[in-house]
Amino acid sequence: MAGNSIGKLFKVTTFGESHGLALGCIVDGVPPGLDLAESDLQHDLDRRKPGTSRYTTQRREADQVKILSGVFEGKTTGTSIGLLIENADQRSQDYSRIKDIFRPSHADYTYQQKYGVRDYRGGGRASARETAMRVAAGAIAKKYLFEKCGITIRGYLAQMGDIQCEFKDWQQVSQNPFFCADEEKLIQLDELLRELKKTGDSIGAKVTIVAENVPVGLGEPVFDRLDADLAHALMSINAVKGVEIGDGFAAVTRRGSQNRDEITSAGFLSNHAGGILGGISSGQKICANIALKATPSIEIVGKSIDIHGKDVDVSTHGRHDPCVGIRAVPIAEAMMAITLMDHYLRHRAQCNDVDAINYFK
């Protein structure tokens, strides 16, 4: 059916292949009266875009977004917003070699089997290039949520391979090409990535996303819980294999007496739950972690088959990120923003007559 939309009230629908003419997006349900310009979207697009450091793919894309509708005299009109980014640096010849091959751990095999046809150029629709449009749409959500309730949604690289990067401060995150919040780890990260380049390998990563100032009450039990919709949105990002809300898998070994978040008249005493109780935001920080696998597009030769079922050796010499987790940070922020925006509007629809009470001193 139709799988290229996300959100119910704030609905984002995307199109575009890695090496097609353009990437596009329709953002529907944006409240009217929001000041919006292309520059509001460009900042996050630039954070995601390739070729900005030696640590990411060298493909060069300006990722210049055009707003084609839904904004008039600088304000959103409440109608659908059309966004477009033209593909510049396509170099399809890079890919002709693997036209007839199923790259291992890529979507080549499953797209071919599902659709009987596929755009093999750079992974076509399965390429992470598609996420540029998520970032553009997410930037609209971020802007509205911040202006409306002061919500901030930020992420950082929490781990790359065995290198754990604690959260030190947000300033740091924007001052290095790794979205790392821990200055002390920058050298190790650099060394690991240089070594991977040398060996022609890649590495997995963990990214943490935090939303602050989220009002209590967002989320629709029982199926459209905020945590369930976040899991959906984050797991839909390329290469993501796991999602945690709050402490996630650490809860497996904990007892109720250790894991529960006690409450006093001064507020919550802890936030193991990651800001969501019963699928509804609690007013605490919303925290989520995602696990990203290492890209299988590496130079080290691997086994696979071609479209005739013949055994072949595969080695990827195209332009790839040694750690896709790095550029996943703005993408994951965008997906959390889209999800929160959708639930902000949903909550307003059903519960607008209700005022939350401030129980805390």
Binders of a second copy in range 57-116 (CB under 8 A): 66, 68-70, 72, 75-82, 84, 102, 104-107, 109-111, 113-116
Residue number, 115 or 170, with CB nearest to a second copy: 115
Residue number, 190 or 201, with CB nearest to a second copy: 201
Q: How far is the CB of 338 from a second copy (least distance, A)?
A: 10
Q: 3-class DSSP state for residue 121? A: helix
Decide if residue 261 touches a second copy (CB under 8 A). yes
Query: Number of residues in contact with a second copy, rule: CB under 8 A?
Result: 159
19: number of CA atoms within 13 Å, CB side? 15
Is residue 157 within a helix (H) or strand (E), and if so which, with residue range? strand 152-160
Restricting to residues 29-48, which ones interact with a second copy according to CB under 8 A? Answer: 29-33
Decide if residue 263 touches a second copy (CB under 8 A). yes
Closest CA to 155 of 240, 229, 47, 248: 47
Exposure string of 240-249, with b = 16+ CB inside 10 Å and e = fewer, is beebbbbbbe
Q: How far is the CB of 282 from a second copy (least distance, A)?
A: 6
Restricting to residues 296-355, which ones interact with a second copy according to CB under 8 A? Answer: 296-298, 300, 302-305, 309-311, 345-355
List Cβ neighbours of 98 (8 Å cut-off, separation of 6 or more).
108, 120, 314, 316
| Residues 301, 305, 309: CA angle, nearest 5 degrees | 160
Residue number, 171 or 354, with CB nearest to a second copy: 354
- Rounded to the nearest 10 degrees, the angle between the axes of helix 324-351 and helix 226-235 is 150
Residue number, 6 or 139, with CB nearest to a second copy: 6
Residue number, 40 or 119, with CB nearest to a second copy: 119
Give the distance, in angstroms, between the CA of residue 69 and the centroid of all CA atoms in the same chain.
Answer: 25
Which listed residue (45, 280, 332, 334) binds a second copy by CB under 8 A?
Answer: 280
Answer for the pair 49, 61: CB distance below 8 angstroms, yes or no: yes
Whether residue 127 is annotated as binding a ligand: the answer is yes
Decide if residue 130 touches a second copy (CB under 8 A). yes
Stretch that binds a second copy, among 51-59, 88-96, 175-183, 262-270 (CB under 8 A): 262-270
Cα torsion 295, 123, 60, 14: sign: negative
Answer for the pair 276, 227: CB distance below 8 angstroms, yes or no: yes
Decide if residue 162 touches a second copy (CB under 8 A). yes
User: In whole angstroms, what is the distance from residue 19 CA to residue 22 CA?
Assistant: 8
Question: Cβ-count burial of 83 within 10 angstroms (0-12 exposed, 13-18 middle, 19+ buried)?
Answer: buried
Q: How far is the CB of 171 from a second copy (least distance, A)?
A: 25
Which listed residue (248, 285, 318, 319) binds a second copy by CB under 8 A?
Answer: 248
User: In whole angstroms, what is the distance from residue 317 CA to residue 55 CA?
Assistant: 16
Residue number, 93 or 265, with CB nearest to a second copy: 265
Q: How far is the CB of 135 from a second copy (least distance, A)?
A: 13
Restricting to residues 284-303, which ones interact with a second copy according to CB under 8 A? Answer: 291-298, 300, 302-303
Q: Residue positions in the annotated binding site?
A: 48, 54, 125-127, 238-239, 278, 293-297, 319
Q: Residue positions in the annotated binding site for FMN?
A: 125-127, 238-239, 278, 293-297, 319
Q: Residue positions in the annotated binding site for NADP(+)?
A: 48, 54
